[in-house]
């Protein structure tokens, strides 16, 4: 199948209700039996056909009653209010998974969503520092997530961990972090010291595009 030519090179933050490391990354059941959280990305460079998407942000608030692959998910889509009508249409098309192979992340996750909670065009606050493993996502009165380093329980020093998935469909390498987050509305949640990660990831119609310049940090 021929797809529209598109590419998103992004900075990404993600949180979920599982323990550090997230069992899903290892084909194991969710820590608490369900999966819920918040994620967001800022597009460093991107396009959909002739429509440029540089600098825009998107986010999602989600809940699955069990393991993601079992379906029944609920998903609220948040799009940067700064996007023009053409950019909004482009981003929604990409996020629908209709312009991506069915074996790739956006399409796979989309196929497990039973309850589409709609889309809101809102100001998305986004802070991201992969070198120090800190970040923040916020939409006023709707949701907020803060990411910080995992701490050694004895010394309280930052504990660095990386997950590397050579054939990962969501990302290939990510810095692990500790996430505290909440959301209101159709997906109401409140979690502290749960799984979080920061990564660079580039996607296109055929999934993750290999990046050979991942910025490893020291210590």
Q: Which two tokens stand for residue 103?
A: 């074996």
pLDDT in tens, 9-26: 999 999 999 999 999 889
pLDDT in tens, 65-99: 999 999 999 999 999 999 999 999 999 999 999 89
What's the pTM value of the predicted model, to 2 decimals? 0.93
pLDDT in tens, 111-156: 999 999 999 999 999 999 999 999 999 999 999 999 999 999 999 9
Query: Which of the four pLDDT bands, split at 50, 70 and 90, describes residue 211?
Result: low
Q: Please report the domains of the chain, with CATH numbers, ordered by start residue.
A: 6-208 (2.40.400)
* Unique residue bearing structure tokens 């996007």: 83
What distances in angstroms separate CA 15 from CA 37, 147, 175, one per listed residue?
5, 8, 12
182 φ/ψ angles, rounded to the nearest 5 degrees = -150, 160
């Amino acid at each position: 199948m021929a797809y529209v030519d598109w590419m998103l090179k992004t900075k990404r933050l993600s949180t979920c209700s599982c323990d550090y490391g997230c069992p899903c990354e290892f084909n194991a059941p969710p820590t608490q039996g369900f999966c819920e959280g918040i994620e967001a990305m800022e597009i460093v460079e991107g396009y959909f056909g002739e429509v440029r998407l540089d600098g825009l942000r998107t986010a999602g608030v989600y809940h699955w009653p069990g393991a993601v692959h079992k379906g029944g998910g609920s998903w609220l889509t948040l799009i940067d209010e700064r996007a023009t009508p053409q950019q909004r249409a482009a981003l929604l098309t990409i996020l629908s998974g209709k312009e991506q192979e069915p074996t790739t992340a956006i399409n796979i996750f989309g196929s497990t969503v039973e309850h589409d909670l709609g889309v809101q065009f809102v100001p998305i606050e986004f802070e991201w520092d992969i070198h120090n493993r800190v970040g923040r996502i916020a939409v006023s009165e709707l949701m907020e997530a803060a990411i910080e380093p995992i701490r050694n329980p004895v010394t309280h020093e930052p504990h660095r961990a990386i997950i590397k998935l050579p054939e990962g469909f969501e990302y290939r390498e990510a810095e692990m972090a500790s996430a505290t987050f909440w959301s209101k509305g159709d997906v109401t949640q409140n979690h502290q010291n749960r799984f979080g990660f920061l990564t660079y990831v580039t996607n296109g119609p055929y999934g993750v595009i290999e990046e050979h310049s991942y910025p490893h940090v020291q210590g």
